[in-house]
Structure 1
Amino acid sequence: MSAARGRRPWIALALLGAPVLVAVLGPWAAAGSPSAQGALPSRPPGDGHPLGTDVLGRDVLWLVLHGGASVLGSALGALLVGAVVGVPLGLLAAGERRALDESVMRGLDLLLAFPGLLVLMTLAATGHREWYWLVAVAGVLQVPAVARLVRGAALAPSAQTVVEALRMQGRGWAYVHLRHLARQLAAPLATDAAGRFSVVLYLLASANFLGLGLPPSSPDWAVLVERNSDALFTQPAAVLIPAGLLTCLCVGGNLLVDRALAGRREVRP
């Protein structure tokens, strides 16, 4: 059992590292244009096209190497939006004013009731298909969960004891919340962000797959899967490779989160 646990982080790092490296280093490794003169659409791997061509006659290898940047950047951007908005709201709800706590949490409950894909469909129907709208909405949809986590951690008995002691010493709200509580919340927020990354990635990939996000000409991996799904049997590389990279990204992130939680459980007295 211990040997299996010891190998698990390396498996997770390998699964997560492969798509991350492709996303980060791919644009520098692939130069030129994805379109080749005279290239036929949905051609299998051959000379000049190691992974074949897509439905538009573009080189699949070039598209795969350039499509991860939007996937990784959008997911991280949405996580950042959720944290920037959710952490202050959670700290505000954990304050001394009961009425403010109820107002903030009931407002977040209302936001939590909206299905993510329905919100993105409404956004696309109004003509807002730019990537920053997609990232902003996906990030705002994560705010209720982040705020609840912060509020719960800030209201924990151990945290409240230290907060009361600091207030008796004359420390202000900014010192107590932004310095002391922020350090205590760093570990649970990091663990939650790692797990939430898969949730955000699934939401963004689903939106792009359904045509609610990036334009059809984008090299985004989810867009590639959607655009080439009809040619799965004639040109499987255009579908299976970007789908596999998305899967590795989700599975690797989940395994790392599980390992981090297991490590915290082992060191807990």
Structure 2
Amino acid sequence: MSLPSTTASGPVATGHRRPWTALALLGVPVILALLGPLAAGGDAPLPGALPSRPPGSGHPLGTDVLGRDALSLVLRGGASVVGGALAALAVGTLLGIPLGLLAAGPRRSLDETVMRTMDLVLAFPGLLVLMTLAATGHRDGIWLVAVAGVLQVPAVARLVRGAALAPGSRTVVEALRMQGHGWAYIHLRHLVREVAAPLATDAGGRFSTVLYLLASANFLGLGLPASSPDWAVLIERNSGALFTQPAAVLVPAGLLTSLCVGGNLLVDRVLARKRSHT
């Protein structure tokens, strides 16, 4: 009697398992963020509705501390979470790539200047920066996303610099330079393709980092206003009624957790699959 195959190409290989759990955990909050606002009602307090009421007739998730329908708020609150995290991730990537490529260039002085500046930015705790901005009156969503994105620049720049300075990349760069190609062709056409795969892998994990920072800022009242349906804001606003109306806290908290865990699991599955092919 033959045993089931356990090779990398077999059906039980870990690298070839479909990441259904990760896709489900990530997909539910993402779908709610995309389609939830289309199905949600308004976020104004309901006439005659009592605050912090448990789930009941007409209110599947009850009401929040202001007497608003909790289900409608949850449906509307994912857009700011996912949209803000993706926007901050885009800011960090778009600023970090050219800085990393500059640092990987032939000029040692430029490398030192860029990297020491990145070290300086990296030394500032993210929440402390957001607290300082909030104290000066800069506490809206645009500032929150911009600062969260800038705080990701040092890590992205270091990743790009490291990939561009890899021995294989440097050999190709020297060959292209000897053929007469300029800086723009070498760095913006060749090296960008070389760092695309590491950047894509890093973006999956960095999304969770940005999500954590934004959620923490909103939970502490450093970002979006208290009336926002953002999931982190809902958790903070309704935390005092956790035992009388737990749905208004546990549902958005579960969605945030699902989004973060699902993203991390999906990155892990992708990396495992890549290792199984090498």
Q: Shorter-chain TM-score: what band?
A: over 0.9
Residue type matched to 2:185 in 1?
Y
Question: What number of residue pairs does the alignment pair up?
Answer: 268
Structure 1 residue 267 displacement after superposition: 1.9
1:42 aligns with 2:55: no
Q: What is aligned with 2:236? A: 226
Equivalent position to 1:185, from 195, 205, 222: 195
Matching residue's letter, 2:29? P
Per the alignment, residue 9 of structure 1 pairs with 19
Q: Which residue of 2 aligns with 1:90?
A: 100
- Note the residue ranges of structure 1 that are not aligned, 5 or more in a row: none
Q: Match of 1:121?
A: 131
Is 1:27 paired with 2:17?
Answer: no
Structure 1 residue 31, shift from structure 2 partner: 3.1
Q: How far apart, CA to CA, are the structure 1 residues paired with 2:13 and 2:52?
A: 45
Aligned-partner Cα distance in 2 for 1:83–1:49: 41
3-state SS, counterpart of residue 19 of structure 2: helix
Question: In terms of mean alpha carbon deviation, does 173-182 or 138-147 score higher?
Answer: 173-182
1:200 — aligned with what? Answer: 210
Q: Which residue of 2 aligns with 1:73?
A: 83
Q: Distance in 2 between matches of 1:100 and 1:5?
A: 41
Percent of aligned positions with the same letter in both sequences? 78
Q: CA RMSD in A?
A: 1.2
Q: 1:39 to 1:4 in 2, by over 3 A?
A: farther
Deviation at 1:173, TM superposition (A): 0.8
1:174 paired residue among 170, 181, 184: 184
**Cα pair 2:118 2:154 within 8 Å, conserved:** yes
Kindly tell me: are residues 72 and 251 of structure 1, through their superposed partners in 2, closer, same or farther at Cα, counting changes over 3 Å? same
1:10 maps to amino acid: W
Mapped pair 1:213 → 2:217? no
For residues 128 and 229 of structure 1, what CA distance do their matches in structure 2 show? 25
Structure 1 range deviating more: 18-27 or 257-266:
257-266
Output the CA distance in 1 between the equivalents of 2:121 and 2:43. 42
Whole-Å separation in 1 of the counterparts to 2:68 and 2:48:
10
Q: CA 1:151–1:4 in 2, change beyond 3 Å: closer, same or farther?
A: closer
How far apart in 1 are the matches of 2:192 and 2:14?
A: 35
C-alpha deviation, 1:266, in angstroms: 1.9
Aligned partners of 1:121, 1:243: CA distance in 2, in Å? 23
Q: Give TM-score, length-normalised by structure 2.
A: 0.94
Give SS of 1:253's match: helix
Tell whether 2:120 aligns with 1:110: yes
Shift of residue 30 of structure 1? 1.4
Q: Which residue of 2 aligns with 1:164?
A: 174
State the secondary structure of the residue aligned to 1:228: helix
Runs of 4+ in structure 1 deviating by more than 2 angstroms, as ranges, are: 1-8, 31-35
Q: CA deviation at 1:81?
A: 0.5
Report the 3-state secondary structure (helix = DSSP H, G, I; strand = E; otherwise coil) of the residue aligned with 1:40: coil
